[in-house]
Structure 1
Amino acid sequence: MSNNILVVGATRGLGASLRALYAQDSTRHVFATSRSESAPQAEQSTTWLTGIDLTHSDVGQKLVSQIPASTKISTAIISAGYFGFESFDGPDWEKEVQMYTTSAIAPVFLVHHLVKAGLLGEASKVIFVSSESGSITLRHEKEGGGNYGHHASKAALNMVGKLLSLDLKPKGIAVGLVHPGFMRTEMTKGVGFDKYWDAGGAVTPNEAAQSLALFIDDFDINKTGEYWAPRGPGDIGTAEDVLGKGLPTPLQLPW
């Protein structure tokens, strides 16, 4: 199997850290996406794919058109995301549309075009960066409601990943859904969650990338369609309330 890694959403946060981590390995080549039409600064072992915007209906075609047809991708990680803060008193239609489109609609079209173009095949892995916020079971009164589009779009992504795993298992393609950890990013800061970083055990994107990459190395078709927290329960505020104490790491999450 080839050692080509595709990172969708590679310019900031977890995606940027994964891109840098994989590019350090001379045996791997990284295809990294950017929403900008111009490529970021050239990097060793990295090919930039530009103009990849998950809110556009042609995103799948645009992605595969920039990858050589002979390429075989060993792992595709779809990390792009958008978090628009909402409350019951202030739901936001446009934010919700963007969150659902980015998290749960675009991934179907990305994977469809990658498979149909022959870029993903036997022994390939597809990893969707979800969140524990998409677990209905883990929602608990101590954290309250609100942020409808964020939570529900991740729950929708989990269903999309599960369904894709059923479609792709006969082709030997493994599909995983992951909560990479509560991270100290501009995204979480932008919605005011930086006030929870310390108490919530938030880690840097580099730390999350390290643990996620190790998890991906061990992930295979035997776990296809499953939903995991590679870093365990430590940063999941409702884990012990809902699932009990003494939870393992990595932790398989409930839907």
Structure 2
Amino acid sequence: MSDNILIIGATRGLGASLRDLYASKPSTERVFVTTRADKAPESQPRVSWIPNVDLTKPDVGQKLLSQLPSSLYLSTVIINAGYFGFESFDTPDWDKEVQMYTTSAIAPVFIVQQLVKAGAVTKGSKVILVSSESGSITLRHEKEGGGNYGHHASKAALNMVGKLLSLDLRSSGVAVGLVHPGFMRTEMTKSVGFDKYWDAGGAVTPDEAAQSLAVFIDGFDISKTGQYWAPRGPRDIGTAEAVLGADLPTPLQLPW
């Protein structure tokens, strides 16, 4: 049976790498990918672009569903779209925080609800919410200090959203997972000045992160629903050893 994949946020970074990776897999029938733009990028084999999908808008679920084929079954949905607005204690930013919470922790509820109600996500489907190790309260440590309230807290909120979705959807046979895909060398991390940590922090390319995430998704099923994982293990989580100890496994289940 061929797979239909939906990737929310696929124009750059991890989303673009996942798009290309799944489009190249023989087992993939179609990859549906979204963009906020009103015009889709250039087409490529087995990829269908869905424009005007903005995770800051209340009708994001309806806009998405209206552009998907009827009677579509999605084997995997990856909600990857994100926004990182840098903040410090001295410079908190209301608008940035609202955008981060909306994109990370509010929109996924409305997207998944619409897909489930339409029957596109049903028994056997996997819903993967791209979170971050920054959303783990346990892993926050004086080593890294505070700041970036909206980014960290919106990912913690996303983790709760994923846990609640897993409880609502378990009886339907839908598996919901939270993942830290890895510290990546992307325009997003560069835009907030994190490129200075790339080498010391073991940052990888989006292609590398996509490969390890896809392997993890292949093995993910209802037995792991509602859990929070780092497919690449502790290698790029700066506080992992200080908080969790040495000799940690890969993949690594992360603490809330």
> What corresponds to 1:244 in structure 2?
245
Cα distance in 1 for residues equivalent to 2:213 and 2:252: 12
Cα distance in 1 for residues equivalent to 2:53 and 2:24: 23
Cα distance in 2 for residues equivalent to 1:23 and 1:116: 26
Runs of 4+ in structure 1 off by over 2 angstroms are none
Partner of 2:235: helix, strand, or coil?
A: coil
The amino acid that maps onto 2:253 is Q
Query: What is the 5 A alignment of 1:77-96?
Result: 77-96=78-97
> What corresponds to 1:156 in structure 2?
157
Asked if the contact 2:60/2:110 (under 8 Å) is kept, the reply is: yes
Cα distance in 1 for residues equivalent to 2:62 and 2:103: 16
Deviation at 1:69, TM superposition (A): 1.1
> What corresponds to 1:76 in structure 2?
77
Partner of 2:32: helix, strand, or coil?
A: strand
Asked if the contact 1:2/1:72 (under 8 Å) is kept, the reply is: no
Q: Does 2:105 correspond to 1:104? A: yes
Deviation at 1:27, TM superposition (A): 3.0
Cα distance in 1 for residues equivalent to 2:138 and 2:163: 16
TM-score, structure 1 normalization: 0.99
TM-score, structure 2 normalization: 0.99
Superimposed CA distance per residue, residues 60-112 of structure 1 (whole angstroms, 9 cap, x where no aligned partner): 00001111111100000000000000000000000000000000000000000
Asked if the contact 1:2/1:73 (under 8 Å) is kept, the reply is: no
Deviation at 1:2, TM superposition (A): 4.8
Partner of 1:126: helix, strand, or coil?
A: strand
How many residues are treated as equivalent by the alignment?
Answer: 255
Query: What is the 5 A alignment of 1:15-34?
Result: 15-28=15-28, 29-34=30-35
Asked if the contact 2:2/2:27 (under 8 Å) is kept, the reply is: no
Asked if the contact 1:7/1:76 (under 8 Å) is kept, the reply is: yes
Cα distance in 1 for residues equivalent to 2:25 and 2:136: 34
> What corresponds to 1:205 in structure 2?
206
Gaps in structure 1 of 5+ consecutive residues: none
Deviation at 1:243, TM superposition (A): 0.2
Query: What is the 5 A alignment of 1:2-17?
Result: 2-17=2-17
Asked if the contact 2:5/2:77 (under 8 Å) is kept, the reply is: yes
Gaps in structure 2 of 5+ consecutive residues: none
Partner of 1:228: helix, strand, or coil?
A: strand
